[in-house]
């Protein structure tokens, strides 16, 4: 039963990091540099945490890093597992449920995504306003989970207050932060041009293979959630070139410094707010 496994992972982590984190962060493809900006870092390899599934994708780091930004305590995953790796969904969301069980009251999720809307070119950033879960799956399927409602409300899945802080962080850095709807698909093949046209019609602004299941799991546990997509490429059929994972990694690398600056400022603002509550 995964709940007992989460408890066991919490106990193991508390033994080496007793402080309760305020804010959780999940870093997507090529975006793990943020973890290096934490002070008093404690880096825990994911494969040393009991039951925690470890990602297998190249370009994904595999650590859980505890540390601080100012006074705030953070727990930060560099790397995540995806449903396309073949894990059952309670394994896919194990990491974010672990953040909730450790005490995080808010989680910032980051990902790499393909831009669908015309203004979302490679290297741009999109604050996620809402999501389309098009994986055909949910981590909540199965017996009711008494740590939250059977039918969680998803009206404001991405927290309005945290989004405002994201906009404030971008403004302070003079960063052109776009905003839009993220569509999460199972993958691992990229979309066809016809699928991208369908996604645009459905209201998606960007597309990726992560995040949406984590958001559902976190909202069910009452954790506040926000997310930002780094647009690493135009979605399939919207540029002349075919898609390639190395392009995703290269763009993430190119924007690394700005991304780290933005996320650091956003996490700082979010932490200050959480500390006040």
To the query of whether residue 60 is one of the catalytic residues in this protein, the response is yes
Cα–Cα distance between 24 and 40 in angstroms, integer?
16
Per CB under 6 A, the list member of 59, 114, 139, 227 interacting with ligand HPA is 114
What residues between 194 and 213 interact with ligand HPA by CB under 6 A?
Answer: 207-209
Structure letter (DSSP) for residue 151: S
Would residue 22 show up in a list of annotated catalytic residues for this protein?
A: no
- Which pair of tokens denotes residue 271? 């932490």
- 233 a catalytic residue: yes
Q: Is 174 a catalytic residue?
A: no
Cα angle for residues 68, 70, 73 (degrees, 5° grid): 35
Is residue 82 part of the annotated active site? The answer reads yes
Quick check: is 29 catalytic? yes
Query: In this chain, which of 66, 94, 158, 190 binds ligand HPA, going by CB under 6 A?
Result: 190
Secondary structure (3-state) at 34 = helix
Q: Is 198 a catalytic residue?
A: no
Q: Which of 7, 12, 19, 85 is catalytic?
A: 85
3-class SS of residue 89? helix
Are 36 and 74 contacting, i.e. CB atoms less than 8 angstroms apart?
Answer: no
Please tell me which residue in 35, 46, 60, 229 is annotated as part of the active site: 60
Site string for ligand HPA, 222-241 (x = CB under 6 A): ----------xx-x------
Q: What is the DSSP string of 192-212?
A: PHHHHHHHHHHT-SEEESSSH
- For ligand HPA, which is the closer residue by CB, 210 or 268? 210
9 near ligand HPA, rule: CB under 6 A: no
* CB atoms closer than 10 angstroms to residue 171: 11
CB of 176 to ligand HPA, least distance (A): 19
Q: How buried is 179 (Cβ within 10 angstroms: 0-12 exposed, 13-18 middle, 19+ buried)?
A: middle
Binding residues for ligand HPA (CB under 6 A): 112-114, 190-191, 207-209, 232-233, 235, 243, 248
Catalytic residues: 29, 60, 82, 84-85, 112, 209-210, 233, 245
């Amino acid at each position: 039963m995964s709940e007992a496994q989460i408890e066991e992972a919490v106990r193991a982590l508390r033994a080496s990091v007793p402080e309760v984190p305020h804010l959780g962060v999940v870093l997507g493809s090529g975006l793990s540099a943020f973890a290096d900006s934490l002070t008093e870092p404690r880096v825990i390899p994911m494969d040393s945490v009991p039951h925690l599934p470890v990602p297998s994708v190249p370009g994904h780091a595999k650590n859980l890093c505890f540390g601080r930004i100012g006074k705030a305590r953070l727990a930060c995953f560099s790397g995540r597992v995806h449903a396309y790796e073949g894990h059952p969904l309670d394994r896919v969301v194990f990491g974010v449920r672990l953040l909730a069980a450790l005490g995080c009251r808010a989680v910032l999720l980051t990902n790499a995504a393909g831009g669908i809307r015309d203004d979302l070119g490679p290297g741009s950033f999109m604050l996620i306003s809402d999501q389309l879960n098009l994986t055909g799956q949910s981590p909540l399927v199965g017996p009711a989970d008494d740590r939250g409602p059977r039918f969680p409300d998803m009206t404001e899945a991405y927290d309005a207050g945290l989004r405002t802080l994201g906009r404030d962080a971008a403004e302070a850095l003079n960063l052109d932060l776009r905003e839009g709807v993220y569509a999460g698909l199972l993958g691992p093949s990229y979309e066809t041009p016809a699928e991208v046209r369908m996604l645009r019609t459905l209201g998606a602004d960007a597309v990726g293979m992560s995040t949406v299941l984590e958001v559902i799991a976190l909202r069910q546990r009452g954790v506040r959630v926000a997310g930002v997509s780094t647009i690493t490429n135009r979605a399939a059929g919207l540029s002349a070139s075919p898609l390639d994972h190395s392009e995703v990694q290269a763009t993430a690398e190119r924007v690394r410094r700005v991304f780290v600056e933005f996320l650091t400022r956003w996490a700082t603002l979010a932490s200050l707010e959480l500390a006040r509550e």
